[in-house]
Chain A
Amino acid sequence: MSADEIPATRDPADGLAAVAALRRLADQLEDAAVEQAMREGWSWPQVAEALGVTRQAVHKKHAKRLIAAGVTLRRRH
């Protein structure tokens, strides 16, 4: 790898902070996208498959929030 492929001013702190910020943004995107899908009638297995996670994981992470928000949920399985 040649030296000019890595910008000379790149501070590792910026790279690490970017990772933390991207994770936070991804969580926000996930909350919004899952809610939108469920409001439009997607099922848990469909959302799980689209996210590439198990339906148990997506249900555990989002069900309480969506129920509290009054979203009508399709059956889990």
Chain B
Amino acid sequence: MTAFDRYLHSVIERGALEAHEDRSAAIEAQHLLLAIAAGREPTTRQVLASAGLDRQAIRAALDLEFERSLNAAGVSLADFDLPRPSPAPKPPTQLGASARLALDRMATVFRKKDLRPAHLLLGILQAEAGTVPRALALAGVDQAGLVATVRRALPGQNG
């Protein structure tokens, strides 16, 4: 197992906990992003911090995205007084479509032996539609600028 494999495994494991907390049946791209932000890997943390993003800021942006997306259909989350259901007994193990797409973007462009943690972040941030780009926009993050910052942080890149 390479260092990157171990890193990917740890992000997916942490992402599963984020998905569990989110009551999601699958690990989605936003859960991997939360996991990266909560992790200790310095390059990815620095890149995210440069855009004002830590785990808490991303969580807040995701919550806002959920609320605003419901609003677009005329539904207000504040109107629901839900009893909180009991959680699933275990965190999910299945990757959702958005997480698989992020991994595919990473794996099809870069050779496996070249992969570094920033490549995973790049795959997540390159989504053109869906929850992650919408949440980033609501947080006031320039997604294209952030992608460029990640690219500069990749090994062998000189700007």
Contacts and interface: CB of A to CB of B under 8 A. Distances in A.
Given A20-B131, A29-B80, A66 B70 contact: no
Contacts of B75: 18, 21-22, 25
A25 B85 contact: no
Contact of A69 (B80, B82, B86): B86
B111 interface: no
Contacts, number: 72
A65 B23 contact: no
B82 A28 contact: yes
Contacts of A68: 86, 88-89
Contact of A13 (B86, B87, B134): B134
A14 B72 contact: yes
Contact of B72 (A15, A29, A31): A15
Contacts of B86: 31, 35, 65-66, 68-69, 71
Nearest to A19: B73
Interface in B43-72: 65-66, 68-70, 72
A28 B88 contact: no
B40 interface: no
A28 B23 contact: yes
Contacts of B24: 24
Nearest to B24: A24
Interface residues of A, number: 27
A32 interface: yes
Interface of A: 13-22, 24-25, 27-29, 31-32, 34-36, 64-69, 71
Given A17-B130, A32-B83, A71-B86, 18 more contacts: A16-B129, A17-B65, A17-B131, A18-B70, A18-B72, A20-B69, A20-B130, A21-B66, A21-B72, A22-B70, A28-B23, A28-B82, A28-B85, A29-B80, A36-B83, A64-B88, A64-B89, A65-B87
28 contacts: A14-B69, A15-B72, A15-B73, A16-B129, A17-B65, A17-B134, A18-B70, A18-B73, A20-B131, A21-B66, A21-B72, A21-B75, A22-B73, A22-B75, A25-B70, A25-B77, A28-B23, A28-B82, A29-B80, A31-B23, A31-B85, A32-B84, A35-B83, A65-B87, A67-B89, A68-B86, A69-B86, A71-B86
